[in-house]
Structure 1
Amino acid sequence: MLSHLTRVLLLVSTLASACTAEDWPRWRGPRGDGTWNGPQLQDVWPDEGLKTRWKTAIGAGYAGVTAVGERVYVMDRRTEPVEVERVVCFAAETGKPLWSHSYAVKYGDLDHGTGPRAAVTFSQDRLYCLGALGHLHCLDARTGDVLWKKHLVDDLGGRLPQWGFSASPVLFKDRLYVQPGGANGTAAMALDPRTGAELWRSLSDKAGYGTPIVIAHRNQHQLVWWTPSHIRGLDPADGKPLWNVPYEVTYGVSIATPIFQEGIVFVAGYWHGSRAIRLGERRTDAELTWEDTKLLRGLMSQPLYRDGHVYLLDKARGLTCFELATGKKLWDDGNRMTPRGRNPQASLVWTGREDRVLVLNSEGELILARLNSKGYDERARTKIIGSTWAHPAYAGRHVFARSDTALVCVELPVAGKATMPPQ
């Protein structure tokens, strides 16, 4: 039998593990790649579902949730009494509104004009927030006070894309990267995150919808930028183009954030499928290594990578696994994970155990599944919110999810959840 001291130490260890789970400070999590070092979760969930810690009303939007420390941040749009976009801060423990910042907007005939698309980016007690029409604000994360603001069209010379600005602001070292788009060298831009001053501008492509990534290849950094017409590599310091692979995307929907693994940049398009680009010895070396136009066609859902394999929500066949190096398809789930539809959507995140993934599908169902090269093994599923395309945030022992009407905090079923040991 375990001694009393041993049981107490196990209790402390369990609590410490849960409390040190990572925050969710930006789009796709701590590293921007859909991985979260959260607590190990139970494989069997209660029949009655998971406990909702709190639920609060918000406005509409597709913007993902950001959760850091004791606070949760989200963007939305309200139309009454006047039309505004908002950045709203809530207490993570209770859902109590702490502050909000709003500004007037006129969506007009903006396609899918529900609300903001981009997730709030948190860094050093500052928030970088981008609205659908191009309003960019740097706010004090504690108070919501405006530190500086810019407009991607009016101030930076960008061009509003058909479905609105969607790429979340990206921070790297002393640069804030935004995607105004436009024909005057404004497709990619770096700003000073402290002041909003322009540092450089580059390219003349239209604005895409996917968030760029910063990669390290052969001990040098590159900025990977996927526009509606090209997949490009830029120097993060000055915006100098390094390499370019043409890829014309129908309707300009370059949406999913690229993946970089094994020296390969991977992007997934809806109508014309996937592209894999291998980077070479020099920073300017890049070549198309394979493409697939029939079996690997993703849209909004972010693909996941692990151990040489990519997991992608294909528009027709559901969750699909393939080899990154070759594009060889290994399996699909036959649309089990999320319903087949015109625009299938699910947010996938690696968590806890090595092969476990948390999924929030478009029906508002939270799913725990085991993923590997052999198949999709669903362990648990429960509904936590209404229909949604927005990416949730995971922090501590909770998931924060939003729809067009509500923001919820739901307790995750932690494995070996601590109870006081018997005396």
Structure 2
Amino acid sequence: MDHERNDDSRHAARGPEAGPAEAPAHDRGGTTWTGCLRRSGTLIWMLVVGGSLAGMVVLWVQRGEVDYATANVLTMILAFVVVIALVARMSLRRGAHRVTRWLSIGGVLLAILAASTLRIDRVSGRLVPRLTWRWSVKPDQLLDSPVIDAREPVDMRTTTPGDFPQFLGPRRNLVVTGVALARDWTTYRPRQLWRQPIGAGWSGFTAVNGFAVTMEQRGPEELVTCYEVTTGRLRWAHAWAARYETMSGGVGPRSTPTIADGLVYALGATGVLRCLDGATGALVWSDDILQRFDLTPEEDLQAVTWGRSASPLVVEDLVIVPHGGPRNGPWCSLCAYDKRTGAVRWTGGQWQVSYASPSLARLCGVLQVLSVNQAAVSGHRLEDGEVLWSYPWPGKSTADATVPQAVVVSDNRLLLSKGYGVRARLLELMLSAAGAWQVTEVWAKPVLKTKFTNVAIQDQFAYALSDGILECVEVDTGRRRWRDRRGNYGPGQILLVGDVILVQAESGEVVMVEANPDQLVELSRIPALTDQTWNNLCLYDHYLLVRNSVEAACYDLPLRTPPDAPEVPDAAR
């Protein structure tokens, strides 16, 4: 036919050496948008699937089905997989442009360079990594051993109404009474009395009679240190060779010392309990818990990954701490020592330790020691440590760690909370005439996700940083009153002071919030610290002591005096 002859004639005109005819423009897949789309179908599907998975993660977080830490890990894994797939697709596909391949190779080389020069220094409470140079030195390693100008005795035997002698406050419940703080920090400004570097660690301050004690890490030494509250002057330090350090747990001790009758009790991250003379810091007695189980610090980390964190409980003539044991047992939950001699008075319980601290409670009229263990909560008779009752409480000290305290809400009710997807619970205890204990569950709900913080209760309302967001819950019903994302302070700490809540944000800010069961009312805030902060607050009288792993500070908080009087402007103070 004519058109066939025309095609033949055009081919003949080009000659036998001319090669095949050039494809029409619309068929050149590598040079047009249509071709790109046709060849990149897999790439588009990868982006669609990746975007859909990312959207699901966001939705899970919004619904509270996963916590921020899990979401961040999933997001990082997803982003890594998508980037690797994109690079592989772009550089290995047939007909890829030379520039594309060189860019892909350059990206791989850049990633190798980053991996060889950077390291993860630490992670946030939501598992966001912080990178630093591999050759950089930890801040605590730049600090010298403390030098004390004069060995003047410190008086910790004298007590005052404003003392904060133990973990979480006078009653170990995150509540301070008898102090009415001014609610407007813009007009009535807190005064920074001092700010200075401090050794690493997540230990908090405790304070008695104007002297504050904490634990810190300086290079190869773990220390208990004593400072003047209002000046920050170091009065004494007790040091020994020990160092805890992991990427996820950070550096240094994480237990808060207890002050009682002029003595200081401190548990190091590697399991050594020390009793010190509060006047000079001299050692009175010590006990190495790991030696009792013939464990090395490395073996203990296989069972208690984030270090020994419990703060000693002093009751009458006893000091009580969790013991634990090897990863696979046998275990001893609690050990009570004579507080003056260090002699063991009793042991009790058969559960591995968690990261919570023992506390004293009166339930059903019986004075007892509460112990939040790795996999159970238990009540122990104070006289001999015998287990009165127990309740299963899921957790593992190498994974989904249990940190929060059990909180007494009435004569026979106990509130439990935790992160890692475990529902908070309200327990009711009953004691029969025959002496038998019964524990029943009143409610279990996905509220109060206190990963490594605690719950404060006022007027039967529980306040807590739930996965880092401030939340209020009815204790009796478990009904959430509010959880406001404006209160997204991160995994920090709180302290209930009268009618306000002091929030130590993970960023270092201190925020004052109204203890209001109806809504979040943020009153004031100050940039108290400037680095990642997990340490608990200490309020000695109206002096707020704050610290993290690099710095410490003290603020003079303005008061309402008397509590119902108008606030006095800062200029008139």
* Shorter-normalised TM range: 0.7 to 0.9
**In 1, distance between residues paired with 2:400 and 2:379?**
19
Q: Deviations over 1:154-173 (max 9, x none)?
A: 13667551100001000112
Matches within 5 A, 1:274-313: 274-282=424-432, 284-292=437-445, 294-313=446-465
Q: Partner residue of 1:261?
A: 409
CA distance in 2, matches of 1:295, 1:70: 38
Deviations 1:131-190 (A, max 9, x none): 111111100011000000011111366755110000100011222110111233422111
Q: Which of 277-286 and 140-149 deviates more?
A: 277-286
Q: Which residue of 2 aligns with 1:363?
A: 507
Matching residue's letter, 1:397: H
Q: Which residue of 1 aligns with 2:261?
A: 124
Pick aligned residue for 2:475 from 324, 332, 338: 324
Amino acid at match of 2:543: H
What SS is found at the alignment partner of 1:187?
Answer: strand
Gaps of 5+ in 2: 1-158, 561-566
Contact 2:189/2:570 (8 A) holds in 1: no
TM-score when normalising by structure 1? 0.87
Between the aligned partners of 1:110 and 1:157, the Cα distance in structure 2 is: 26
User: Secondary structure at the residue paired with 2:251?
Assistant: coil
1:56-71 correspondence to structure 2 within 5 Å: 56-71=196-211
CA distance in 1, matches of 2:294, 2:288: 9
Greater shift in the superposed pair: 402-411 or 106-115 = 106-115
Q: 1:368 to 1:202 in 2, by over 3 A?
A: same
Q: Could you tell me which of 338, 347, 350 is aligned with 1:204?
A: 350
2:289 to 146, 152, 163: 152
Larger helix proportion of the pair: 2
Aligned residues: 391
Cα offset, 1:225, TM superposition: 1.0
* Structure with more strand by fraction: 1
C-alpha distance in 1, partners of 2:394/2:413? 19
Shift in alpha-carbon separation, 1:291–1:54, aligned structure 2, 3 A: same
Q: CA deviation at 1:94?
A: 1.5
Q: Give the aligned CA root-mean-square deviation in angstroms.
A: 2.3
Moved more, 110-119 or 86-95: 110-119
Contact 1:22 1:37 in 2 (8 A): no
Q: CA deviation at 1:203?
A: 2.1
- Change beyond 3 A, Cα 1:106–1:75: closer
The 2-side partners of 1:166 and 1:321 are apart by 27
Give the counterpart letter for 1:290 in structure 2: W
Give the structure 2 partner of residue 178 of structure 1: 321
Greater C-alpha Rg = 2
What SS class does the counterpart of residue 180 from structure 1 fall into? strand
Deviations 1:228-269 (A, max 9, x none): 211111112111111111122252511011101122111112
CA distance in 2, matches of 1:269, 1:90: 33
Q: 1:270 to 1:99 in 2, by over 3 A?
A: same
Contact in 1 for aligned 2:195/2:551 (Cα 8 Å): yes
SS at match of 1:242: strand
Distance in 1, Cα, partners of 2:284 & 2:488 = 41
| C-alpha distance in 2 between matches for 1:349 and 1:106 | 29
Q: Does residue 137 of structure 1 match 2:274?
A: yes
- How far residue 346 of structure 1 moved from its aligned partner, in angstroms, is 2.6
Q: Which residue of 2 aligns with 1:315?
A: 467
Q: 1:56 to 1:274 in 2, by over 3 A?
A: same
Secondary structure (helix, strand or coil) at the match of 1:153 reads helix
Distance 1:28 1:108, change over 3 A: closer
| Alignment partner of 1:169 out of 300, 304, 312 | 312
Tell me which of the two structures has the higher relative contact order, counting C-alpha pairs closer than 8 angstroms and 6 or more residues apart: 1
What CA distance in whole angstroms lies between the structure 2 residues aligned with 1:128 and 1:288?
A: 35
After superposition, the C-alpha distances for 1:203-223 in whole angstroms (9 at most, x for unaligned) are 222110011211112321121
Alpha carbons of structure 1 residues 108 and 365: separation in structure 2 relative to 1, 3 Å: closer
In 2, the alpha carbon distance for the partners of 1:196 and 1:46 equals 49
Aligned 8 A contact 1:132 1:165 in 2: yes
Q: 2:551 aligns with which of 395, 399, 406?
A: 406
Match of 1:372, SS state, is coil
Three-state SS of the structure 2 residue aligned to 1:41 is coil
Equivalences for residues 331-342 of structure 1 within 5 A? 331-334=482-485, 336-339=486-489
Structure 1 unaligned blocks of 5 or more: 1-18
Tell me, yes or no, if structure 1 residue 350 matches structure 2 residue 350.
no
Distance 1:48 1:270, change over 3 A: same
User: Are the equivalent residues in 1 in contact too, given 2:323–2:331 (CA < 8 A)?
Assistant: no
